[in-house]
Amino acid sequence: MTVLRRKLAEAKAEGRAALVGYYPAGFPDVASSIRVVQAMVAGGCDVIEVGFPYSDPTMDGPVIQQAADRALAAGTTPKDVLAVVRAVADAGAAALVMSYWNPIEKYGVDAFAADLAAAGGSGLITPDLIPEEAEPWIKASDAAGIDRIFLVAPSSTDERLAKTCAASRGFVYAASLMGVTGTRDKVAATARRLVERTRAVTRDSGLPICVGLGISNGAQAAEVASYADGVIVGTGFCQRVLDAPDVDTACQQVRDFAAELAAGVRAAAR
């Protein structure tokens, strides 16, 4: 049982969705990013996805791209990513890494799985790795006893929903809309339908379904929490750090934002 699965089970026992926050390691520098993720946990995030900054983030909108660029310019390394994972775990939340595939393959798939587990990480989210290409990762994550989170999207066929959920462990990441990361005025209408379709294939396994993309305030978090097992927010945290004049202010705003979202997932009508 990973910390992730325990945290999701605890939230469920409390009758609420879990709050999952995304933040890239090394933005604006490693020490500051550790303070930010600590603030996210203090504000009420149950799970933190530590972003592995990558030069070509095809699925990310401008805010997360900018954060990743800044992290890379600051010289962030895989070791730094694992240090942030350790900090999240020490702060008492479940720690995941979210990474495009090439940096993991370059690190060494087996080595990354082992080192992530050793750093206290619960698993890895792979936005550009589909189960068909994931055999080495499935073996490595099994060997290390960590979770692997694949994505489903509104365009996924029922057959692919079943296949992807069968390959996932911990939870499955439901992309709420067709598009890249970033804030939206409204939660996409496609989100609820995707969760319903995904539920149809996870009924037996009970695999939790967490929804991300375009969720950026407490009301939206509450809306999604009414039908999902977890609510994933990323751009909103990065935007607050980008806008803040200094790290102290950034951490305060991040903590307040996490608290708003945490209240949201608790206010949901279920």
Partner 1 sequence: MTTNNTLPVPPYLGEGGHYGRFGGRFSPEALVAALDEVAVAWEKAKNDPDFQAELQRLLTEYTGRPSPLTEAHNFREHCNGARILLKREDLNHTGSHKINNVLGQALLTKRMGKTRVIAETGAGQHGVATATACALLGLECVIYMGEEDTRRQALNVARMRMLGAEVIPVTVGSRTLKDAVNEAFRDWVTNVETTHYLLGTVAGPHPFPSMVRDLHYIIGAEARQQVLDRTGALPDAVAACVGGGSNAIGIFAAFIPDESVRLYGFEAGGDGLDTGRHAASITGGSVGVFQGARTFVLQDEYGQTVPSHSISAGLDYPAVGPEHAWLAESGRATYAPITDAEAMEAFRLLCRTEGIIPAIESAHALAGARKIGAELGPDATILVNVSGRGDKDMTTAATYFGLLDDEGKQDR
Task: Give the active site residues.
Answer: 49, 60
CB of 181 to partner 1, least distance (A): 10
Using rule CB under 8 A, residue 168 touches partner 1: no
Using rule CB under 8 A, residue 112 touches partner 1: no
Identify the residue among 42, 91, 130, 259 touching partner 1 (CB under 8 A).
130
CB of 99 closer than 8 Å to CB of 126: yes
Identify the residue among 139, 143, 155, 243 touching partner 1 (CB under 8 A).
155
Quote the tokens at residue 245.
């004049």
Q: Where does 64-118 show beta strands of DSSP type E?
A: 94-98
- Phi, psi at residue 115, to the nearest 5°? -70, -35
Within 13 A of 157's CA, how many CA atoms are on the CB side?
Answer: 3
Rounded Cα gap, residues 92 and 72, in angstroms: 27
CB of 144 to partner 1, least distance (A): 19
Do you find a cis peptide bond into 28, omega within 30 degrees of 0?
yes
Using rule CB under 8 A, residue 137 touches partner 1: no
Q: By CB under 8 A, which span of 16-24, 36-44, 150-158, 254-262 interacts with partner 1?
A: 150-158
Rounded Cα gap, residues 213 and 208, in angstroms: 17
Site for partner 1 in 48-87 (CB under 8 A): 54-59, 61-62, 65-66, 69, 72, 77-78
Site residues (vs partner 1, CB under 8 A):
54-59, 61-62, 65-66, 69, 72, 77-78, 101-107, 127-130, 132-133, 150-157, 160, 164, 175, 178-180
